[in-house]
Each structure stands twice: as C-alpha cells, then as structure tokens.
C-alpha cells in the first residue's frame, strides 16, 4: 500500500473529492483507508443503564485507498509515490501527477 498512518492525503475521486485529511487507519487486506474528517457518518448509540440518554456519534468510515493521493506541500497538490533505494536505504519519493517515470 502506498500510504502510512499519519500521512496527509487528498481525495481524488468520489463524493469527497478535493477534501484533505490525515490517515487514521489502514486496512491492507481490503485496500481501504480511514481519513480524519472525510466520509463521516452518524452512528446511533442505544440506550443502556450506563448511558440512559442514548444518542449519536460521528464516525469517520473508510474509503478505497486508490481514491487518495499523498499530499505534498512542496508541490501544492497530490503526488504519486514510488520506492527508491535498496535494503535499509529505501525511501518513499513523491512524484507530481503527470510526470513520466
């Protein structure tokens, strides 16, 4: 997967296109990412003895990892990533979209 927890990303497709946020969680098996402040849904809390009022809570749900790009402050837009180097010196490098490899 091209992302890590804590990365700043931008959504490039779907209902939340253009929104930016920080990666909170990754699901590598399903290929999904949870981003802070993006794709927020309201979850109902049932009434219990501990919480007699019940209520609702806003929860960020996951979106497809292919729908996001790593955000680059230097480029001012989303960038694709690739791994350069070998062994312990591997580094993740951002490449502006539209650039040929």
CA distance 1 to 29: 10
Q: What integer pLDDT is reported at residue 10 of this predicted model?
A: 94
pLDDT of residue 83 exceeding 70: yes
Q: Mind listing the pLDDT tens digit for each residue in 26-73?
A: 999 999 999 999 999 999 999 999 889 999 999 999 999 999 999 988
pLDDT of residue 3: 87
Q: What percent of the chain has pLDDT over 70?
A: 91
Q: What is the 3-state secondary structure (H, E, C) of 20-44?
A: EEEEEEEECCCCEEEECCCCEEEEE
pLDDT score for 78: 85
Architecture of domain 8-72: Roll (2.30)
Domain spans of the chain, in order of start: 8-72
């Amino acid at each position: 997967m091209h992302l890590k927890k804590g990365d700043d990303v931008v959504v490039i497709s779907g209902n939340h296109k253009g929104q930016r946020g920080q990666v909170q969680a990754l699901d590598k098996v399903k290929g999904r990412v949870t981003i802070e402040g993006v794709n927020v849904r309201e979850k109902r809390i049932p009434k219990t003895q501990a919480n007699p009022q019940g209520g609702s809570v806003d929860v960020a749900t996951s979106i497809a990892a292919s729908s996001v790009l790593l955000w680059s402050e230097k480029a001012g837009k989303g960038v694709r990533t690739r791994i350069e180097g070998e062994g312990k010196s591997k580094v993740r490098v951002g490449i502006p979209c539209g650039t040929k490899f």
